[in-house]
Amino acid sequence: MNRKISLGVALTIALICTVICGLFCYEIVDSKYDSVVEGMPEKMERYELLDQVDGIIKNNYYGSVDKDALSDWLIKGYMSALGDSNSRYMTNEEYAEYKGEIKGDMPGIGIEYEKTSKSQIKITKVYDGSPAKEQGLRKGDIIVAFDGIKLTSKNYKELSAKLEDESSSVNIIYKRSDSEKAVTLQKGYEAESVITGVYEKRLGYIAISDFYSGTSDQVSAALETFIASGINCLVLDLRENKSVNYDEAMETLDLFLPMTTDEKPAATVADNSGKTVRTYNMSPGEINLPIAVLVSSSTASAAEVFVSDMKLMSKCEIYGDESTKGDCLVQEIFELNDKGALLLSVGKISPYSGDGYEKTGITPDKIYEYEERNDNFKKDKLFLYAASLLMG
Per-residue confidence (pLDDT) for residue 248, from 0 to 100: 96
Q: Which pLDDT score, from 0 to 100, does residue 378 have?
A: 95
What is the pLDDT, as a whole number, of residue 22? 41
pLDDT at 210 over 90: yes
| pLDDT at residue number 206 | 97
- pLDDT for the residue 373: 84
Interior CA angle at 166 toward 165 and 169, to 5°?
90
Mean pLDDT, residues 311-315 taken together:
92
Mean of the per-residue pLDDT values for the chain? 87
pLDDT of residue 173: 96
Average pLDDT, integer, range 144-158:
94
pLDDT, greater one: 211 or 76:
211
| Greater model confidence, 166 or 3 | 166
pLDDT of res. 40: 62
pLDDT value, residue 68: 79
pLDDT on residue 38 = 54
Backbone phi and psi for residue 391, each to the nearest 5 degrees, phi listed first: -90, -10
**Where in the chain is CATH 2.30.42.10?**
105-190
Assign domain 194-391 to a CATH class: alpha beta
- To the nearest 10°, the Cα dihedral for 269, 271, 273, 279? -30
Report whether pLDDT(9) > 60. no
What percentage of residues in the chain have a pLDDT greater than 90? 63
According to CATH, the superfamily of the domain at 105-190 is PDZ domain (2.30.42.10)
d(CA 144, CA 172): 8
Which range (57-61, 219-223, 344-348, 385-389) has the least confidence? Answer: 57-61
The pLDDT score that the predictor gives to residue 30 is 53
Q: How far apart are CA 388 and CA 227, in angstroms?
A: 20
pLDDT tens across 246-302, in order? 999 999 999 999 988 777 899 999 999 999 999 999 999 899 999 999 999 999 999
pLDDT grade for 2, boundaries at 50, 70 and 90: very low
- Average pLDDT of 199-213? 95
Q: With helix as H, strand as E and coil as C, how does the chain read?
A: CCCCCCCCHHHHHHHCCCCCCCCHHHHHHHHHCCCCCCCHHHHHHHHHHHHHHHHHHHHHCCCCCCHHHHHHHHHHHHHHCCCCCCCEEECHHHHHHHHHHCCCEECCCCEEEEECCCCCEEEEEECCCCHHHHCCCCCCCEEEEECCEECCCCCHHHHHHHHCCCCCEEEEEEEECCEEEEEEEECCEECCCEEEEEECCCEEEEEECCCCCCHHHHHHHHHHHHHHCCCCEEEEECCCCCCCCHHHHHHHHCCCCCCCCCCCCCEEEECCCCCEEEEECCCCCCCCCCEEEECCCCCCCHHHHHHHHHHHCCCCEEEECCCCCCCCEEEEEEECCCCCEEEEEEEEEECCCCCCCCCCCCCCCEECCCCCCCCCHHHCHHHHHHHHHHHC
- Burial code (b: 16+ CB inside 10 Å, e: under 16) for 67-99 equals eeebbbebbeebbeebeeebbbbbbeeebeeee
Contact 365, 323 (CB under 8 A): no
pTM for the full predicted model = 0.76
Least confident span in 50-64, 130-144, 154-168: 50-64
* pLDDT tier, 59 (very low <50, low <70, confident <90, very high otherwise): confident
pLDDT of 324 higher than 50: yes
Could you give the residue range(s) of every CATH 3.90.226.10 domain in the chain? 194-391
Q: pLDDT for 19-56, tens place per residue? A: 444 444 445 445 544 544 455 667 777 778 888 888 89
Rounded Cα gap, residues 171 and 158, in angstroms? 14
User: Tell me, what's the pLDDT at 310?
Assistant: 95
- The whole-angstrom separation of Cα 310 and Cα 292 is 10
